[in-house]
A and B are shown apart, each in its own frame.
Chain A
Amino acid sequence: MNELAITVIGRDRPGIVADVAEVLARLGANLTDSTMTRLRGHFAMTLICTGPAAAEVEAALVPLAAEGQLLATVRAVTPDGEVPPAGEPYVMAVHGSDRMGIVAAMTRVLVDAGGNVTDLSTRLAGSLYVVLAEVELPAGVADTLVDRLHRTAAELGVEVTLRPADPDLL
């Protein structure tokens, strides 16, 4: 079974998801995990599909791209191998005045503590910059990590909070 990584990005308009999903369904491409979101007026889709060959999907998306409105990429990827043991889930929230390097500096602190970012989004609203990251941390590092995050945030002039995101099992 082919596994494909597909990205589609273009000026937002109603119907992008339906158009792309229709093409994929017609080809028998099964949409598995995906995120689709609007980023400053552009609609961005990142999808993993299983089914047809990459070239077939690429060709089928050409008519959508031909209007010059959408940019699509398709490439074959290797399916999940052995999944490494997960850490403890946390959410890092950063906000403050926009400047260069906030994401780079803050995520570097996470990586250096053995953290693994599993989801991240940023928003720029006026001069306010917001970063939200889901991160898995090795057991027991959160307390010292908070200090390091605060130091780096202070250098950048932004605020940071790190809170546990462990689910309650019901």
Chain B
Amino acid sequence: MTGAESGGPAAEAYAGLGDWTPESLVVPGEVRAVVSAPHPVLSRAADEVDPTAKETVQLAADLVATMRVSPGCVGLAAPQVGVGARVFAVDVTGHPKAVTVHGTFVLCNARVVEATRWKAGREGCMSVPDLTGDVKRASRLVVEGDLPGTGKPVRLVTDGFEARALQHEIDHCAGLLFLDRVAGAHAVYQRKVYL
């Protein structure tokens, strides 16, 4: 699927993150409470947002703030803080499995446009604190979305751990948990250590 087919801007309109940083949001982020499954907001496809709207910008800042205070957290989607909006924050900086790293960023209305080289890996989620599961994810990924604030369309090409994190967060925005993608009946595990 391309941006054009999905009704988004033509592919050539997309750029990378450019000089966007969380500080571009200007508003200070507030830490929000993270919801756990079972919660209906986690199982509902979230709504598309206006990336330039004041509440979207505040939500983006809050997601970054909440992600930063949560130990080991490399990504957080709006449904995880109880908001049914297609917005998420990601930051895999410093993670030992990360290859390509785009730093801290927030995407609105993101979608996967290319996914290849599928690899299995074990995932955990802040909203499913007691379980982990084996999930196949693409290790090469192209994602398109809009930056909060400017609304500028971006196209990110990434791989490895950042690709896994992006797919996990995009799934949250579609109302899917890793539990919806586990490899089989014996691929969910009790998680005993919360890092």
Interface size class of A (residues with CB under 8 A): 10 to 19
Please, which residue of chain A has its CB at the minimum distance from the CB of B90?
A170
List 27 A–B pairs whose Cβ atoms lie within 8 Å, in order of A's numbering: A37-B185, A37-B186, A83-B192, A85-B192, A86-B192, A121-B186, A134-B189, A136-B192, A165-B122, A165-B189, A166-B122, A167-B122, A167-B124, A167-B132, A168-B74, A168-B121, A168-B122, A168-B161, A169-B74, A169-B123, A169-B124, A169-B125, A170-B74, A170-B124, A170-B125, A170-B164, A170-B178
Q: Given the complex, which residues of A lie within 8 Å of B121, measured CB to CB? A: 168
Interface of B is mostly: mixed
In this assembly, does B49 line the interface, its C-beta being within 8 Å of a C-beta of chain A?
Answer: no
Q: Given the complex, which residues of A lie within 8 Å of B110, measured CB to CB? A: none
- A36 vs B168: C-alpha distance when bound (angstroms): 28
Interface of A is mostly: strand
- A36 vs B113: C-alpha distance when bound (angstroms): 38
In this assembly, does A127 line the interface, its C-beta being within 8 Å of a C-beta of chain B?
Answer: no
Contact B73 A169 (CB under 8 A): yes
Interface residues of A (CB under 8 A from B): 35, 37, 83, 85-86, 89, 118-119, 121, 134, 136, 165-170
- A136 vs B189: C-alpha distance when bound (angstroms): 12
Apart from A86-B192, A170-B74, list 18 A-B contacts with CB within 8 A.
A85-B192, A119-B186, A119-B189, A134-B189, A136-B192, A166-B122, A167-B123, A167-B132, A167-B189, A168-B97, A168-B121, A168-B123, A168-B161, A169-B124, A169-B126, A170-B123, A170-B165, A170-B169
